[in-house]
Structure 1
Amino acid sequence: MADPSSYRPKPGQIPDSPGVYRFRDEHGRVIYVGKAKSLRQRLSSYFQDITGLHPRTRTMVTTAASVEWTVVSTEVEALQLEYSWIKEYDPRFNVKYRDDKSYPSLAVTMGEEFPRVQVMRGPKKKGVRYFGPYAHAWAIRETVDLMLRVFPVRTCSAGVFKRSAQIGRPCLLGYIGKCSAPCVGRVSAEEHRELAEDFCDFMAGRTGAYLRRLEEQMREAAEEMEYEKAARLRDDMEALRRAMEKNAVVLADATDADLIAVAEDELEAAVQIFHVRGGRVRGQRGWVTDKVEAVDTAGLVEHALQQLYGEEKGDAVPKEVLVPALPDPVEPVAQWLTERRGSRVDLRIPQRGDKKDLMATVQRNAGQALALHKTKRASDLTTRSRALEEIADALGLDSAPLRIECFDISHLQGEDVVASMVVFEDGLARKSEYRRFQIRSFAGQDDVRSMHEVVGRRFRRYLQEKQKTGEWQDGPGAPEDTAGPGGAVSPGEVIEPDAPADDRPKRFAYPPQLVVVDGGQPQVAAARRALDELGITDVAVCGLAKRLEEVWLPDDDDPVVLPRTSEGLYLLQRVRDEAHRFAIAYQRSKRTKTLRSGPLDAVAGLGDTRKKALLKHFGSVKRLRAATIEQICETPGIGRKTAETIAAALAASAPPAPAVNTATGEIMDDAEE
Structure 2
Amino acid sequence: MSVDYRPAPGTIPTDPGVYRFRDRDGRVIYVGKAKNLRNRLNSYFANLDSLHERTRRMVTTARSVEWTVVSTEVEALQLEYTWIKHYDPRFNVVYRDDKSYPWLAVTLGEEYPRIQVMRGDRKKGVRYFGPYSHAWAIRDTVDSLLRVFPARTCSPSEFKRARRMGRPCLLADIGKCAAPCVQRVSEAEHRAIVDDFCSFLGGNTSAVRKRLIAQMQEASENLEFEKAARVRDDLAALDKALEKQVVVLSEDTDCDVVGVADDDLQAAVQVFHVRNGRIRGQRGWIIDKPEPLGEAGIVESFFSQFYAEAAHDLPREILVPALPDDAEALSSWLREKRGARVVLRVPQRGDKRSLADTVRRNAEEALQRHKLKRASDLTSRSKALEELGEALEMAEAPLRIECYDVSQSHGSDVVASMVVFEEGLPRKSEYRRFVIKGERTDDLSALQETLRRRLKRLGDQPAGSPDEASVEAGHVIEDGELMENTDKKRFAYPPQLIVVDGGAPQVAAADAVFTELGVDTVHLAGLAKRLEEVWLPGDDYPVILSRSSEALYLLQRLRDEAHRFAISLHRSRRRKRMKTSALDSVPGLGPSKRKALLKRFGSVKQIRRADVAQLQEVEGIGPRLAGTIAQHLALESTDNGADDGRTGDTSAANAATPANGEEHSLAEQLVEQEQDDQDSS
TM range (shorter): 0.5 to 0.7
Pick from 109, 115, 118: which aligns with 1:117? Answer: 115
Pick from 225, 228, 231: which aligns with 2:229? Answer: 231
Q: What are the Cα deviations for residues 71-125 of structure 1, in whole angstroms up to 9, with x where unaligned?
A: 3222222222222222222222221112244433222233444332222334444
Gaps of 5+ in 2: 397-549, 552-681
Match of 1:341 in 2: 338
Equivalences, count: 396
2-structure distance, mates of 1:21, 1:260:
28
Pick from 263, 266, 271: which aligns with 1:265? Answer: 263
CA contact (8 A) 1:254 1:280 kept: no
Q: How does 1:214-613 map to 2 (within 5 A)?
A: 214-313=212-311, 315-378=312-375, 383-391=382-390
2:74 is aligned with 1:59 = no
2-structure distance, mates of 1:293, 1:150:
51
CA contact (8 A) 1:4 1:61 kept: no
Q: How does 1:592-671 map to 2 (within 5 A)?
A: none
RMSD of the alignment, in Å? 2.6
Deviation for aligned residue 1:126: 4.4
2-structure distance, mates of 1:171, 1:148:
14
2:170 is aligned with 1:172 = yes
Q: How does 1:145-156 map to 2 (within 5 A)?
A: 145-156=143-154
Deviation for aligned residue 1:206: 1.4
Cα pair distance change 1:13/1:143, threshold 3 Å: same
Match of 1:99 in 2: 97
2-structure distance, mates of 1:317, 1:196:
21
- The aligned amino acid for 2:369 is L
Q: What are the Cα deviations for residues 143-181 of structure 1, in whole angstroms up to 9, with x where unaligned?
A: 000111122212112222222233332211122221222
1-structure distance, mates of 2:346, 2:107:
36
2-structure distance, mates of 1:364, 1:53:
32
Deviation for aligned residue 1:324: 1.1
Deviation for aligned residue 1:395: 9.3
Q: What are the Cα deviations for residues 408-436 of structure 1, in whole angstroms up to 9, with x where unaligned?
A: xxxxxxxxxxxxxxxxxxxxxxxxxxxxx
2-structure distance, mates of 1:118, 1:142:
12
2-structure distance, mates of 1:112, 1:162:
13
Cα pair distance change 1:84/1:196, threshold 3 Å: closer
- The aligned amino acid for 1:349 is V
Gaps of 5+ in 1: 398-566, 569-673
Match of 1:9 in 2: 7
Match of 1:198 in 2: 196
CA contact (8 A) 1:271 1:288 kept: yes
Cα pair distance change 1:329/1:182, threshold 3 Å: closer
For residue 5 of structure 1, give the secondary structure of its aligned residue in structure 2.
coil
Deviation for aligned residue 1:30: 2.3
Cα pair distance change 1:124/1:395, threshold 3 Å: same
2-structure distance, mates of 1:49, 1:102:
43
For residue 91 of structure 2, give the secondary structure of its aligned residue in structure 1.
coil
Match of 1:618 in 2: none
Deviation for aligned residue 1:392: 5.1
CA contact (8 A) 2:99 2:284 kept: no
Match of 2:522 in 1: none
Match of 2:445 in 1: none
- The aligned amino acid for 1:343 is A
Q: What are the Cα deviations for residues 426-460 of structure 1, in whole angstroms up to 9, with x where unaligned?
A: xxxxxxxxxxxxxxxxxxxxxxxxxxxxxxxxxxx
Cα pair distance change 1:30/1:384, threshold 3 Å: farther
Cα pair distance change 1:191/1:84, threshold 3 Å: closer
Identity %: 63
Q: What are the Cα deviations for residues 39-63 of structure 1, in whole angstroms up to 9, with x where unaligned?
A: 2222222233333222222222233
CA contact (8 A) 1:256 1:277 kept: yes
In the superposition, the TM-score normalised over structure 2's length comes to 0.54
2-structure distance, mates of 1:300, 1:263:
10
CA contact (8 A) 1:4 1:62 kept: no
- The aligned amino acid for 1:134 is Y
Deviation for aligned residue 1:301: 0.2
Deviation for aligned residue 1:210: 1.9
CA contact (8 A) 1:4 1:65 kept: no
- The aligned amino acid for 1:169 is R
2-structure distance, mates of 1:92, 1:42:
20
Deviation for aligned residue 1:240: 0.8
Match of 1:554 in 2: none
Cα pair distance change 1:163/1:15, threshold 3 Å: closer
Cα pair distance change 1:170/1:293, threshold 3 Å: same
For residue 365 of structure 1, give the secondary structure of its aligned residue in structure 2.
helix
Q: What are the Cα deviations for residues 526-560 of structure 1, in whole angstroms up to 9, with x where unaligned?
A: xxxxxxxxxxxxxxxxxxxxxxxxxxxxxxxxxxx
